[in-house]
Structure 1
Amino acid sequence: MPLPTVMGAAGAGSATAKRHNSKLEYAHLEIRSPPPGGTRSTPGPVADRVEFQFNPRELTLTKTAKWKRESERSAQKSGAPQFLGAEPAKLSLEMFLDASRSMDDSVVRRVEKLFACCVPTEATRHQQKASPPWVVFRWGALTGFPAHVTTVSARYTLFTPGGLPVRAVCTIALEEMGGEVGGQNPTSGSLSARTAHVLQPGESLAALAHRSYGDPTRWRAIAAANGIDDPMRLPVGRALLVPSLEELAEGGTG
């Protein structure tokens, strides 16, 4: 039987979705390959994703900066602060996993995916600068900043008679990747608002770009935001995230 707190969180999310969207959308963690050569640019294609069974009840977003003040002996007040640089943005959240009905190893497999995000990818392990997978937290019209996973803590709370974990609470901490990232303001470290669109029969990215921006040539921005390599082979019914005009202006896309 599912945890009451988990079901309560899902119920709250459902009520909110009905007010803002006709369809309840679940959050997921998109796992992307590091960019070739370890450059600070747009991440590689989508390699995997970890689906949330229940939407998180809260997200904690942190952004700090380094400042320095010069003090003088005779001054009654401190000097004006000097900006020394921005710290990477951080996002923390909880993920509830439950397989108490199926009694299978799906909880363990999802936790292993999260743990794998804390180590360098196989493709970069033998390079001079090994890189972890890039991840992006997505939830309907919200998309997080490109990040890497710094901490995963899994607390198993239910087991089968044979000792297989079938319920867990995972605490996940993400830290913003540095440098210029295409389609994202690297200094904001914020959650950007994007619209979600389900692809209809006969619809193309160019048609979607024309309807969204009034410019069909901006289909590349939609392709990049969704990790699409071949825009001619898109399955009907796929949910696409459409970047806002503000995001395109910040990233210089289009």
Structure 2
Amino acid sequence: MTSLGRSLARAELLIKEPPSKVGARPGTTIAKVTFQFNPNRLSLTKTTEWRRKPSRMARASAMPEFVGSGPRSLSFEMFLDATAKHDNSVEEQVEQLMKACVPTAKSISSKKPASPWVQFDWGKAKTTSFDGVLSSLSVSYTLFDVDGTPLRATCSLAIEEAAVDASGQNPTSGSRDVSRTHQVVAGDSLPQIAWREYGDATAWRLIAEANDIDDPLQLVPGSELLVPAFGESTASTVDGVR
């Protein structure tokens, strides 16, 4: 209990099965990591994207055109300590976190390999609690037992929002059921485009398949991509037909 007579809420990281198909919600919770010590800082980022078309004859900069909003990104640190027990609980928790970065057994067996989705949950906080994917994990071991077993570690995690909004509209308020084209600009990535068009960053494979893209990181600025209708593309992917 705290000095105000209220129970202390413990931060948790929920690890869930990835969605069974594009546009679906994540599956059941397969693991829950409870923080030993609540984080003392949470960094929440939300971006918007604007595009300007430069003109050599213009005396002032061109008016920016709103392209779309990006997903939320949450970063924080998790401190692990086993000095009271001198066991291998620190490494066990690190291994559990690392499993959130690799495909689940269920997704592999269904021939749709995907890493788990995660959700940071801490009491009544809402802006920092959303479905996403673990975009980065860094672990620093800072104390060891006489036999080399890590006794303390600081884990730095970053979660990127990946959920589809309930209205069925993408963040730029356009319909997901109409095919369109997108002109690639510097800094574009397929997950970013999928987020803007579908509201689901994990739907980038639909765009890659529609444009025969083998390497999603090699996008050429100025080129045009076909962004297929969401419903039609999802059905084709599920049926295994392009």
User: Secondary structure in 2 aligned to 1:157?
Assistant: strand
Structure 1 position 141 matched with structure 2 position 127:
no
Question: Is the counterpart of residue 115 in structure 1 residue 90 in structure 2?
Answer: no
Query: TM-score, with normalisation over the residues of structure 1?
Result: 0.61
Summarize the alignment of residues 1-254 of structure 1 with structure 2, pairs less than 5 Å apart.
18=3, 22-36=6-20, 38-127=21-110, 129-143=112-126, 144-180=129-165, 187=171
Letter paired with 1:30 = L
Shift of the 78–132 alpha-carbon distance from structure 1 to 2, 3 Å rule, reads same
Q: Residue 49 of structure 2 aligns to a residue in which SS?
A: strand
Give the unaligned 5+ runs of structure 1: 1-13, 188-254
Give the Å deviation of 1:139.
Answer: 0.6
Q: Aligned partner of 2:151: which letter?
A: V
Cα RMSD for the two superposed structures = 2.4
Q: Measure the CA separation in 1 of the matches of 2:111 and 2:50.
A: 32
Aligned pairs, number: 169
8 Å CA contact 1:30–1:136 kept in 2: the answer is yes
Cα distance, 1:181 vs structure 2: 5.4
Look up the SS of the partner of 1:124 in the other structure. Answer: helix
Q: Distance in 2 between matches of 1:69 and 1:127?
A: 43
Sort the Cα spacing of 1:99 and 1:186 in 2 relative to 1 into closer, same or farther, 3 A.
farther
> Identity over aligned residues, as a percent?
40
Gaps of 5+ in 2: 172-242
TM-score scaled to structure 2, two decimals?
0.63
Report the Cα distance in structure 2 between the residues aligned to 1:115 and 1:181, rounded to whole angstroms. Answer: 30
The whole-number CA distance in structure 1 between the counterparts of 2:46 and 2:110 is 31
Q: Distance in 2 between matches of 1:186 and 1:84?
A: 12
Q: 1:104-135: CA deviations, max 9, x gaps?
A: 11111110011110111111125554221111
